[in-house]
A and B are shown apart, each in its own frame.
Chain A
């Protein structure tokens, strides 16, 4: 649909009085108690991002300690038990408590801004999701300080993780907290889907949606269909451990491989859940720093959707060495190789977009170019391990460790840091230092390759993953030392960005609303945006609204939203025709109370099943309080 411009456009003027009303309506209360009542999407998004980066730092420190332990043969820095806890926590925290939440955090913060609205569809649910994540993260990390952290690896295979071989609370905490924070991921996913489908600015039909929004949408659908599998598998495991069910216990007719199927049915899409939003970030950055429309918008969208679908058909390639039927093996090999096609389409579209463009090599763009180099290597080793004979050879060796760090750090963390530099002025109103950004990039890029490239060779030489040390005669010492040195350089690189970020909040150059000359709507808001995001909800006529406005020196907006309560426009799914107005709820403490009640149940069942019933009714009562209509009942 193209929205007709009215024949006699009426000029819109803002009285400062009305703006002040709007400010008051969307204001988040101050004070410590007020902090727990915030529901605005930018508040929640920012919290997700900051909390996730703190977990990145903590899990990164664990990674460095692991590397120090492995730097030379027969070192005793950590010892076997602590080493097991550290690599388990490193993997678990990086995947569940950093990668997914940080991507969701960016999506929660930027999707509403990019589609031109004032908040998300269910603001209170958003807040609930954050507290669930925060409490889950604190409990899991707290277990490490109490020396009762899980130690059965991030995929927690049975029978190692069953009560017989892992007594103690570590695996219980892993299982309950993973289930718990999946709730947070799922609430964010539903939020993002509904917000994206129903609350886009009038005129922003699906084929005009920014590519990052597409990526966030695909990520959300993947979360909705992947996470239930891990919820079920960890529920079955916790039942095995707490009330003696027999799901994974062979003597009782259980099937340990069921765990692997369920876990990887989630675990493989998980990898792409992390990758897909990163792809959206890359497209966004490329558009801005080439300053022209991207090549192959439709192809890029379709390939992101295709990655979403195909990623659900790959899980068995984590299980090639478990002895599956021949036909199944062939199918999953083919599917694993198939994912290279949409990934390739993405890369070729980006190359075509960069070809002949005047590229500005600012920091965000550097991180994206770094992604290209690293991700292509990771993709190549991915095609290698998709082949069963090769996979059988390198299974559970450092070759795998090298492969997945190439795809995860290269595929997700590099674009993420690039996006952080890119969107930082929007979030904080200050620019980060370019010089420090470039130092940070080169240190991280070199450090990364020095750390992980030698691991390919170590794996081929037969070094297994998850061993806490090795003897000198194996001859793995030199490459391990090199990798450890590399990891320190890599950490320094990320450290420079951390210092740069903190420094810029106080000393950075103040940012204009649109410092990079980008075309998407988030740059139409102030830096940082006002509490209501947009003074007027914009009307959109193409994929590049800000470039249109620059050319036409005129922009159309929505009028008629009330200022004295939180109103946003609802639009139709495909064409974004305005169909009505939604009144959003104001700040409240109830999501926090609900999250505390729910966490009581999840933590409590580790000690006694009765907590399930207690928390069930507590949560039910808090939900009633949360939704109970306040008088006067609305009547318009």
Chain B
């Protein structure tokens, strides 16, 4: 059989073509999976609430609003610094990238500290009742995720300070940023459910 040249790809880019490299899709897949997990946790919370006699159970009150709201602000701010870091490397500004990612890591670390203090002050344990179980589980789930983005982005920050990322070679930043947005934005439904939910629903 005759074999002829159909297409020649020698001149095509080897980096993140059309801004949608396989890794971009891969992280989107991970985000889709984890979003389904977030949704399932929310549904479980609502299911338990719907069948409970009182929510939170009588004698308990929903955790205070102030610190989670501050955390929400910090997480949104860290998303903004992450976004600016991505913009910087799009222009080829390696220093801007490194500063942006480092700022995000520090902001999220602050969230971890605040969350730890807040959780330690909770008056109920996960062992007390189903309400305590679901609040602690969702909090723990999100806490672990913030820990993992802090860890992962710290590695990205180290590589950024060493000048690994360039305008072309930046898929690692793109992937890290997208996952960062996911973890920060996942806090919104949890925040509404855990802190606003009982106040609106319980009265």
Interface residues of A (CB under 8 A from B): 3, 5-6, 9-13, 121-122, 125, 186, 189-190, 193-195, 197-199, 202-203, 224-225, 227-229, 231-232, 235-236, 239-240, 243-247, 249, 252-255, 258, 261-262, 536, 539, 549, 553-561, 567, 569-570, 572, 578-583, 616, 620, 624, 627, 629, 633-636
Contacts and interface: CB of A to CB of B under 8 A. Distances in A.
A6 B6 CA distance: 7
Q: Quick one: which of A235, A557, A582, A583 has the most chain B CB within 10 A?
A: A582
Contact of B6 (A247, A252, A262, A558): A558
B155 A253 contact: no
A261 B47 contact: yes
A224 B32 contact: yes
3 closest Cβ pairs, A-B complex: A580-B17, A556-B6, A560-B10
Given A245-B133, A553-B1, A559 B7 contact: yes
Given A186-B33, A194-B29, A232-B37, A560 B22 contact: no
Contact of A3 (B7, B12, B36): B7
B161 interface: no
A579 B25 CA distance: 15
B48 interface: yes
Given A194-B26, A198-B22, A224-B33, 13 more contacts: A11-B3, A12-B5, A190-B30, A228-B34, A229-B40, A245-B127, A252-B133, A254-B133, A255-B48, A258-B48, A582-B14, A624-B155, A629-B159
A122 B171 CA distance: 14
Contacts of A569: 9
Contacts of A254: 48, 130, 133
Given A620-B148, A624-B155, A581 B48 contact: no
B5 A580 contact: no
Interface string B14-56: 1111101111011001101110110111001001100111000
B11 interface: yes
11 contacts: A194-B25, A203-B6, A228-B34, A245-B126, A252-B129, A539-B7, A558-B6, A559-B5, A560-B10, A579-B12, A629-B164
A253 B6 contact: no
B4 interface: yes
Given A247-B48, A254-B133, A559 B151 contact: no
Contact of A9 (B5, B33, B132): B5
A255 B26 contact: no
Contacts of A228: 33-34, 36-37, 39-40
A616 B144 contact: yes
Nearest to A631: B164
A239 B136 CA distance: 11
Contacts of B8: 558-560
Nearest to A199: B22
Given A3-B7, A569-B9, A252 B130 contact: yes
A402 to B, nearest CB: 32
A290 B190 CA distance: 55
B134 interface: yes
Contact of B48 (A9, A253, A572, A578): A253
B13 interface: yes
B44 A236 contact: yes
Contacts of A244: 126-127
A186 B148 CA distance: 19
Nearest to A243: B126
B30 to A, nearest CB: 7
A557 B3 CA distance: 7
Given A252-B129, A560-B11, A229 B36 contact: yes
B188 to A, nearest CB: 19
A189 B21 CA distance: 17
A13 B155 CA distance: 46
Interface in B125-150: 126-134, 136-137, 144, 147-148
A581 B13 contact: yes
A193 B10 CA distance: 26
A579 B48 contact: no
A296 B30 CA distance: 34
Interface of B: 1-18, 20-23, 25-26, 29-30, 32-34, 36-37, 39-41, 44, 47-48, 51-53, 57, 126-134, 136-137, 144, 147-148, 151-152, 155, 159, 164, 169, 172
A476 to B, nearest CB: 39
A574 B29 CA distance: 18
B200 to A, nearest CB: 20
Contacts of B133: 236, 239-240, 245-247, 252, 254
B18 A579 contact: yes
A253 B22 contact: no
A227 B5 contact: no
A3 B6 CA distance: 9
Given A254-B130, A254-B133, A557 B18 contact: no
A12 B4 contact: yes
Q: Name which of B48, B130, B148 has the most chain A CB atoms within 10 A of its CB.
A: B130
A558 B129 CA distance: 63
A633 B159 CA distance: 12
Contacts of A240: 133
A558 B130 contact: no
Contacts of A620: 148, 151-152
Nearest to A250: B130
A243 B5 CA distance: 64
Nearest to A629: B164
A581 B37 contact: no
Given A578-B7, A629-B164, A258 B2 contact: no
Nearest to B34: A228
B5 A555 contact: no
Nearest to B20: A198
Contact of A559 (B9, B33, B37, B53): B9
Contacts of B4: 6, 9-12, 554-557
Contact of B14 (A13, A556, A580): A580
Nearest to A577: B7
Contact of B127 (A122, A231, A246): A246
A636 B172 CA distance: 17
Contacts of B57: 253
Given A12-B3, A570-B22, A620-B151, A559 B10 contact: yes
A122 B26 contact: yes
